[in-house]
Amino acid sequence: MKIKIVADSSADVLALEGVEYSSVPLTISIEGTDFVDDEKLNLEEMLHRLAACKEKTATACPGTTRWLKAFGDADRVICFTITSGLSGTYNAASLAAREYEEKHPDRKVHVLDTLSTGPEMELLIEKAAALIREGMDFEEIVRRIDNYRKRTYLLFSLKSLHNFVINGRISPAVGALVGLLGIRIVGRASEEGTLQPMAKCRGDKKALQSILTNLKEMGFKGGLVRIHHCCNEVLASALRDGILALFPNADIRLGLTRGLCSYYAEEGGVLVGFEGA
């Protein structure tokens, strides 16, 4: 029986070794130009256009046709989507799953609303892939992934809120405070799957300390950590080193945000997925 993992592109994962996998791209629209978040994305151009943009921007979730194509001919599919608190992607994937099962009554698709994005999604995908490699049956994998999600978390540090300002989500005054005075917003993905600000920190150093403090308070004890950054390798590396100084046995890997996460994090943003209590 073939088990396949499918995830939308906000996971920042394009391929997996030893497991069937497909990434389904979202689309970012900036001043009339659509940027498809796949392996061909020109991220540098997208970020440049986003930083200079003065009009509202938008994202579009993949339609059911894209999801069905990604499911392919798999007997069983485990599908991960960005939080439904930010996107309609989960609903689109769920519609595709029902259509797939109606066409193929002997097949099953489990769609998981991760209530998160980026590196936390990567942790969930990694866990599912490991269980598939072990030869575990589909139902047990689904059960374990659902339980695992309850102890994974996402923290973030944002250097710019320009995109939130032009889309009317925050006031220009607040956006200027973050951009001009060196303020960094540190926050988390809430239990409801929304982006929840937690602290305002002046500069990357204080943002780093805030993230480390929150890691410990949220139950991190030295397990897996995945750090994705948008053009901010300095902070990402400093965060890795700070975690290792406290938890030498932590398993940490750095990666880059792709289109969708770069759209939300903007240049300088850092996202941290980790195992907690």
Alpha-carbon span 18 to 123, nearest angstrom: 16
Cα–Cα nearest to 57, from 214, 199, 167, 196: 167
pLDDT at position 180 is 66
What pLDDT is stored for residue 182 in this prediction?
Answer: 82
Q: Where are the beta strands (DSSP E) in the chain?
A: 3-8, 21-24, 27-30, 33-36, 58-60, 76-81, 108-113, 152-158, 183-189, 195-202, 224-229, 251-256, 270-275
Helix (H) or strand (E) holding 162: helix 162-166
* Lookup: tokens for 160: 């710019």
Q: What is the distance between the alpha carbons of residues 159 and 146, in angstroms, rounded to a whole number?
A: 32
Question: What pLDDT does 223 receive?
Answer: 95
10 DSSP assignment: G
Output the pLDDT for position 191: 92
3-class secondary structure per residue, 174-227: HHHHHHHCCEEEEEEECCCCCEEEEEEEECHHHHHHHHHHHHHHCCCCCCEEEE
Q: 236: which residues sit within 8 A by CB, 6+ positions away? A: 227, 228, 229, 254, 270
pTM: 0.95
pLDDT value at residue 260: 96
277 residues of the chain, pLDDT tens digit each? 899 999 999 999 999 999 999 999 999 999 999 999 999 999 999 999 999 999 999 999 999 999 999 999 999 999 999 999 989 999 999 999 999 999 999 999 999 999 999 999 999 999 999 999 999 999 999 999 999 999 999 999 999 888 888 887 777 877 777 766 788 999 999 999 988 889 999 999 999 999 999 999 999 999 999 999 999 999 999 999 999 999 999 999 999 999 999 999 999 999 999 999 7
Half-sphere exposure of residue 52, counting CA atoms within 13 Å on the CB side?
7
CB 35 within 8 A of CB 96: no
Q: How many CA atoms lie within 13 A of 257 on its CB side?
A: 30
Torsion of CA 32, 184, 156, 252, to 10 degrees: 120
Using CB atoms within 10 Å of the CB of residue 52, give its burial: 0 to 12 exposed, 13 to 18 middle, 19+ buried: exposed
What pLDDT score was predicted for residue 171? 77
Contact 8, 62 (CB under 8 A): yes
190 φ, ψ (degrees, to nearest 5): -75, 170
Alpha-carbon distances of 96 from 42, 60, 89, 90, 241, rounded to whole Å: 28, 16, 11, 10, 42
